[in-house]
Copies of this chain bind each other. A is one copy, B any other.
């Protein structure tokens, strides 16, 4: 089995198309989209709908639907919730569908769903459960796709990829690519997950808008067994359950 870590979503160039995501993909945007997505399911949501565009999200409004998302760290106009996993953790969403629109995490998930056979949203909170699910689903390859931020690699995402890699190594034999070795190295350098997350640019941006409490929540490892898994499309939205 092959284990590959993409430190950034790979879009290729005209002369060099990216290798497709063909088998099983773990999408990581630990601060905060994949952590928040995990929390919605944990708190009772029946489905998550990821929408790249705000208009797509707004068009899905309806009874028993919660609109959540962010632009620049804050909830867009007309949305019920921002992208705070702590805020989500304090509520119940039983019987409701949550429509999420974020920037980097949604884009990475969309890229993975273009070609991936199985796509899972992973974070530190569901790391163990997500690694097990991926291991169960994969035929020959798992790719951990780090969302990064605005085209730049994130220390938070790569640390999380390292934690996932470590769990996967405990579950089987893998040939690792350079990205997986880099992620594993980063994971092993930090004893406390809060440290790499706090050092990341993504955390700095949250501090700037007063949402630093989210960082500590995102840094909790394997507290959740919710594993948002791609279940199909509804119009332009990606459905995870």
Contacts and interface: CB of A to CB of B under 8 A. Distances in A.
Interface of A: 6-8, 10-13, 16, 18-19, 150-156, 158, 177-179, 181-182, 185-186, 188-190, 196, 199-201
A112 to B, nearest CB: 16
A156 B177 CA distance: 12
Given A11-B11, A16-B150, 6 more contacts: A10-B151, A11-B13, A13-B151, A152-B179, A178-B200, A185-B185
Contact of A151 (B16, B151, B185, B199): B16
A6 B178 CA distance: 15
Q: Which 9 A-B pairs have the closest CB atoms?
A: A155-B178, A185-B189, A7-B153, A185-B186, A7-B7, A155-B181, A178-B201, A154-B178, A153-B179
Contacts of A189: 185, 188-189
A201 B186 CA distance: 18
Nearest to A157: B178
A6 B185 CA distance: 18
Given A158-B182, A185-B186, A8 B8 contact: yes
A8 B12 CA distance: 11
B182 A182 contact: yes
Nearest to A12: B151
Nearest to A203: B178
